[in-house]
Structure 1
Amino acid sequence: MVGVAHAATGAGVAGGLTSFIPLILIFVVFYFLLIRPQQKQAKQHQLFLSELKKGQKILTKGGIYGTITALNDNVITLEIAKDISIKVSRDAVAGAVDRSGVLEGPKGKK
């Protein structure tokens, strides 16, 4: 009788592990399709923000187009019209724009 009871508990553990396999597969799919690409995009945007330079044309997340006239650690001064400048946070920059005003990618490429 002891052998039968021991065999039943071993099968229960194996059955419990197999019920977690779908959950593990779902997590793996979410990681490779959602989490990893988002982390990669965030890393590229941080690199783009660190490489901003004076004279570059940018678009803010609020929809303001401007040219960088001054840079500090966290503050960017934008000239949005002739002799009109505003200060925005470096994190408020959405991306660079080309001459026609089209938003470029995070590395400055279309």
Structure 2
Amino acid sequence: MFDLLAAAGAGPSAAPVWTNLIWIFGMIAIFWFLIIRPQMKRQKEHQDRVAGLKKGDQVVTQGGLVGKVVKVDDTYAELELAPNVKVKAVKHTIADLIEPGGKPAND
């Protein structure tokens, strides 16, 4: 008789462990598709653009300098910022390429 009373007062049993794992894997999938995957895609596109640099391209560095590519090697790109003003930049610090034919911001 005491066994029946003890069993009745024990309350509900805990959920199975696999239900908790479903939530954890679901959160990992959400982070993968919303954060990690798009960032990897943007990084791959940037690497492709930097690898395809050629003489005459107009670029923007991560520091905000705008220049024209004069010379490119494996690691560095030489940029002309103004007439007779050249700087050497590490290729991976180039943020973006400016499309030819684009209008300047102040025109």
Please say if 1:86 is aligned against 2:93.
no
Letter of the 2:16 counterpart: G
Tell me how large the CA RMSD over aligned residues is.
1.8
Which residue of the partner structure matches residue 97 of structure 2? 96
How many residues end up aligned between the 2 structures?
91
TM-score by length of 1: 0.76
What are the Cα deviations for residues 79-98 of structure 1, in whole angstroms up to 9, with x where unaligned?
00000100000001000113
| Structure with the larger helix share | 1
Q: 2-side partners of 1:48 and 1:96: how far apart?
A: 8
TM-score by length of 2: 0.79
Q: 1-side partners of 2:64 and 2:50: how far apart?
A: 17
**Taking every aligned residue pair, what percent have the same amino acid on both sides?**
31
Decide which structure has the larger Cα Rg and report it.
2
Q: 2-side partners of 1:82 and 1:63: how far apart?
A: 18
Q: 2-side partners of 1:31 and 1:45: how far apart?
A: 20
- Are the structure 2 counterparts of residues 101 and 76 from structure 1 closer, same or farther at C-alpha, using a change threshold of 3 Å? farther
Q: Which runs of 5+ in 2 are unaligned?
A: 1-12
Which residue of the partner structure matches residue 49 of structure 2? 48
Letter of the 1:25 counterpart: G
Q: 2-side partners of 1:101 and 1:91: how far apart?
A: 24
Which residue of the partner structure matches residue 76 of structure 2? 75
The secondary structure found in structure 1 opposite 2:64 is: coil
Q: 2-side partners of 1:101 and 1:57: how far apart?
A: 12
Letter of the 1:66 counterpart: G
| 1:100 shift after superposition | 2.4
Letter of the 1:78 counterpart: L
Q: 2-side partners of 1:92 and 1:35: how far apart?
A: 22
Q: 2-side partners of 1:71 and 1:79: how far apart?
A: 12
Moved runs in structure 1, 4+ residues, more than 3 A? none
